[in-house]
Each structure stands twice: as structure tokens, then as C-alpha cells.
Amino acid sequence: MMAARCSMLGLSIAPSGLEAPRWPGCSPTQSTSATFSLSSGLRGLALPPLRSQIVQKPRVLRTCATAAPMSTQFTKIPGFTQIGEPIIDPLTLSEVVKSLPKEVFEIDDVKAWKNVAVTLIAVALGYAALAVLPWYLYPAVYAYLGTAMTGLFVIGHDAGHNSFSKNQLINDIVGTVMFMPLIFPFEPWRIKHNTHHAHTNKLVMDTAWQPFRPYMYDRSKGVAKFMMEASMGPAWWFASVGHWLFWHFDLSKYRAQDHNKVKVSLAAVAAFGVFALLPLLYFTGPLGFVKWWVLPWLGFHFWMSTFTLVHHTAPHIPFKQSREWNAVEAQLNGTVHCEYPAWIDFLCHDISVHIPHHIASRIPSYNLRKAYASLQQNYDKHLNKAEFGVPLMTTILTQCNLFDEKKKKWVKFDKSKRDEASFETAME
């Protein structure tokens, strides 16, 4: 079987037997309205020749050292408010980490458990609304409830990075319990997620997701081709389900020394299924099961798919081979800060403030905004910023269909349009 694996969708097709594990006061800053050639648009590569086609035209963009709603002035890439300048000068990830205030790494038990209370209350309110409101209000209820359930994942996400508590056992318990209603095995997720942080946007190695390549699409037929088009198109919101199913239940994907922990996580979600979901199905029937669990769960996966795609995908942000990959370029200049509506940030505990999380994953979620303010003060010109909405999703889903690793750029599914100028090359 061919080797590259697009793990968001859970497809497996890869060459050479490789296993592809697929958001202090304001001050004017210089952003770049640049002419990016995607063929030379490698993210932050330190070698100037690979950036030779970038033509920078400074313009003043008012930014603030907070992650609050920022300027509505957009770049010529729809949905993006700032395109980060490539990192040319020598800079290491450890230098960026050292520039952050020490307090952003501090774990506060009160704030951590407050987040737990907020999420549990939010989820309970969502289910109460589902119980009493008329059916025609269900779409709004599900949008809210799926988002609130995502808060369960974010709390477990902190625990997975040991940033929920200073106590390892508490982190393990909280992570496992928060993930159980989502039928998400905690330990398998933690192992693969840490690999994602170590290899962000690296071809083959990044386990959050791998882009489809032209040869994969061109050689595929029927269902496989349709699924590629859907997952990087109108059904992007469902792609996380494939990733969840493909990665987290197969013991053979994990080292022998991790098997016991993985088995505990699998047993935990199995127990929730037996003692919670089966009774739900029995007493409410298939329609009740869909109403009370499946649709909220799909709402959670909508955000899982969206966050993964938005925070790591843009026409000017390529995936790289191991030999050309650089940590600070991937984490600082290759990750996207996206502004979402305030209620989403509240329910999802600021997971959208994603750049500082990739700079140092041990920063608790309640300190991400303070860390982002520091990054704005020191490295603002290198930050990619976007606003969630139709323009942003249209850009990603129409311009970032396939990643051509030879040309080092994103291309479209349609062969006849793969050499068309993208938004970056059209910038003047």
C-alpha cells in the first residue's frame, strides 16, 4: 500500500513505507503586504535565496498587545489581517521561550478548576436548553452545545501538556475523565499530540494532519478522490472524525512501553460507552441517541477540524521536509492566530490563541493571552493573524487543496488550475 497518510481524514496511502503519523498599549507596527511566490514561500526558512521573490511593501497596521478583537484592515489574502514576515535573522525557539514572562508558565489551581466549573455548567445549560426549547431552535442549541463540549477537550488538552496541575496523577485523571464523554482515549491522543508539537507542519511526521499531495489525488478514483475533495472542501468539519477513528484505537500504533497507559484510556472510554451511551440508546432509541449525544459530539468535531485546519493552514504556509524544517519558523511564523467571536473563545478557553501554545505547550490556557501580548511586543511582524469567517474559510478551502512538495506550494485539485497565481503572488 502506498505510504503517505492523511491523518485528518484517516486515509492511508504512502511512498517508501514511511508512516505518516495526517487568536501595553497599541502601537503602530509594520506588517507586510508582500508578493509571495508560493514556489519560494517556505515558511521562515533561514536561507535568503529561498525568499528571493518576496517583495515587501510596508504599510502601517495598528495592532495591540492583546488577543482582543483587532483591526478590521485585511491583507490581500481574504480572511487574514496580517501575513507574518519570514524569519531571516538567526533566532531559536528557546530564545523566544525565554522572552516570555515567567508568570505565563505558572499553574493556578483556582483558575484551572474554575475552567472545569465553567465547562460543566455550560454543558449542563446546553442540555437543559435541548430538553425544553422547541425543535426549531435546535440549530442554535447544537451550535452552543457542541462548542461547550469542546471545552471538555481543552481542559483535557491542558492536562495532556501537564499544565492543568503540578501533580501528574491529577493531570492523568482529569484528562481521562474530560475526554470520556467525547469517546476520546486520552493517552493515545496525548502521545500523538506531543508528536504534532515536535513536528508541526512537517511532512510525514506531523500527526495532527498531513496534507493530501497531488500524486495521491491524481492516482485515486471514486470514493477516495471524493473524500479528499470533501475533507478539504465542504466537509472539512467532519475530517476530525476520521483522524479520531484512525489514530486513537489501534494499539499497534504505539510503543510497547506505552501499551498499559493506552489500554487504561481505551478501557475508560469503553466504560463510558457501556454505562452511559448504551443506556441512552436503550431508553431514548436511535433518534434520542442522535439528539442527545451524536449531534453535540459532531459539533465538538466541527471545532476540532476547524481549529486544526485554521491554525496550521494558509496559502503562504507550507509543510516542509525534515531536512528544511526549523522549529522557530514552524511554531512562531508557521502557526496562525485567529480571532473568533468572544463566546467561542470563552467556551473553548482561548485555545484559539494558538501561537504561544506552540511556542511553549506547557503554558496553561488561561495564560495564553498574556503570552500572546508578549509575542506581539517582541515578534509581532512575524505573526500570522486571521479572523474566522466566510472569507478565511473560503481562502483555505479553495487555495489549499493539495500540497505539492516538489514545488513547495499549495495547489488546487483541478490540474488545469494548479499553476494559477494564488493570492500571495497577486499581492502588489
Q: What is the pLDDT of residues 268-292, one digit of tens each?
A: 999 999 999 999 999 999 999 999 9
Question: Would you place residue 209 in the very low, low, confident or very high pLDDT band (cuts 50, 70, 90)?
Answer: confident
pLDDT of residue 89: 82
Contacts of 356 (CB under 8 A, 6+ apart): 100, 104, 363, 368, 371, 372, 374, 375
DSSP 290: I
User: Amino acid letter at 311?
Assistant: H
In percent, the amount of the chain with pLDDT more than 90 equals 77
Instruction: Inform me whether the pLDDT recorded for 71 exceeds 60.
Output: no
User: Amino acid letter at 141?
Assistant: V
Instruction: Inform me whether the pLDDT recorded for 46 exceeds 70.
Output: no
Q: Which cell numbers hold the place of 420? A: 494559477
- Compute the distance between CA of residue 316 and CA of residue 384 in angstroms, rounded to an integer: 10
| Alpha-carbon separation of residue 378 from 25, 32, 98, 336, 361 (angstroms) | 14, 16, 12, 17, 19
pLDDT of residue 106: 98
- Compute the distance between CA of residue 184 and CA of residue 290 in angstroms, rounded to an integer: 18
pLDDT of residue 420: 74
pLDDT of residue 399: 93
pLDDT of residue 419: 80
Q: Which of 23, 77, 43 is nearest to 355 (CA)?
A: 23
pLDDT of residue 163: 97
Span 147-203, pLDDT tens digits: 999 999 999 999 999 999 999 999 999 999 999 999 999 999 999 999 999 999 999
pLDDT of residue 75: 74
Average confidence (pLDDT) over 76-94: 93
Instruction: Inform me whether the pLDDT recorded for 219 exceeds 50.
Output: yes
| Alpha-carbon separation of residue 128 from 283, 284, 292, 414 (angstroms) | 18, 16, 11, 47
How many C-beta atoms lie closer than 10 Å to residue 205's C-beta?
20
pLDDT of residue 191: 95
Estimate to the nearest angstrom the gap between the alpha carbon of 106 and the chain centroid: 24
Q: Where are the alpha helices (DSSP H) in 133-258?
A: 138-160, 168-179, 186-198, 214-219, 222-231, 239-247
- How high is the mean pLDDT of the chain? 85
